[in-house]
Chain A
Amino acid sequence: SQQGEEDPQALSIQEGENATMNCSYKTSINNLQWYRQNSGRGLVHLILIRSNEREKHSGRLRVTLDTSKKSSSLLITASRAADTASYFCATGYISGGYQKVTFGTGTKLQVIP
């Protein structure tokens, strides 16, 4: 089964509001990344957080990681209509001797102008 599960599955907010998405995973990880996917396009990397880090910032993005709870959150502040997209967490870990990157189920964000 997939390593990451995102919550909520869909989120609709007004422009200017903050958007928070959560990701839960099942096994120990080495790192966690967040990606964005616009409709009909490939995924684009947003931010990386390593297992020994608790919080990272990049522009309007803030990511937290709680390894004890096996969860991460992505906060987008002051959202814009252009932030409308699906957001995925991706966990990097070892399984069966292989390095793996597994993507979550995604949160579909709609920002209403």
Chain B
Amino acid sequence: DAGVIQSPRHEVTEMGQEVTLRCKPISGHDYLFWYRQTMMRGLELLIYFNNNVPIDDSGMPEDRFSAKMPNASFSTLKIQPSEPRDSAVYFCASSLQGALSGNTIYFGEGSWLTVV
């Protein structure tokens, strides 16, 4: 398996622009997670999906952030409009089952976002 695939790997955009990050989870995994990593706040869970349905989006910072999972093999995280404080590494991850199972969470290589 190719693992979790994210795109783009790097993006530099101007403040106010729309940013779309994409993710292809591992085939057969029922759970998909979006995390954000910064030096100041560490690794934060933004949202997770179970069988394409958003379950917990309490970590989404504000209305400028939205995430979708139209099918089992694709998810997007969108920021509109983007701000410099959104600069971070955004990770997509997937797992077979939920947190209580202790299943391994497989991470993508991340999308490095810089908003100038």
Binding site for B on A (CB under 8 A): 2, 30-31, 33, 35, 41-45, 48, 50, 88, 90, 92-94, 96, 98-106
Contact = CB atoms under 8 A, between A and B. Distances in A.
Interface of B: 4, 33, 35, 42-43, 45, 55-56, 58, 91, 93, 98-102, 104-110
A42 B104 CA distance: 13
Given A48-B104, A96-B58, A41 B109 contact: yes
B102 A42 contact: no
B99 A99 contact: yes
Contacts of B98: 99
B100 A30 contact: yes
A47 to B, nearest CB: 10
26 contacts: A2-B42, A31-B102, A33-B104, A35-B105, A41-B110, A42-B4, A42-B93, A42-B107, A42-B109, A42-B110, A43-B43, A43-B105, A45-B105, A48-B104, A90-B105, A92-B100, A93-B99, A94-B99, A99-B98, A99-B99, A100-B56, A101-B99, A101-B105, A102-B45, A103-B43, A105-B42
A101 B99 CA distance: 6
Contact of B42 (A33, A45, A94, A104): A104
Contact of A103 (B42, B106, B109, B110): B42
A99 B109 CA distance: 24
Nearest to A5: B42
The 7 nearest A-B residue pairs measured at CB: A42-B107, A92-B99, A99-B99, A31-B102, A103-B43, A99-B98, A98-B56
Nearest to A92: B99
A100 B109 CA distance: 21
A30 B102 contact: yes
A104 B42 CA distance: 8
A42 B108 contact: yes
Contacts of B107: 42-44
A90 B104 CA distance: 11
Contacts of B109: 41-42
A29 to B, nearest CB: 9
B79 to A, nearest CB: 20
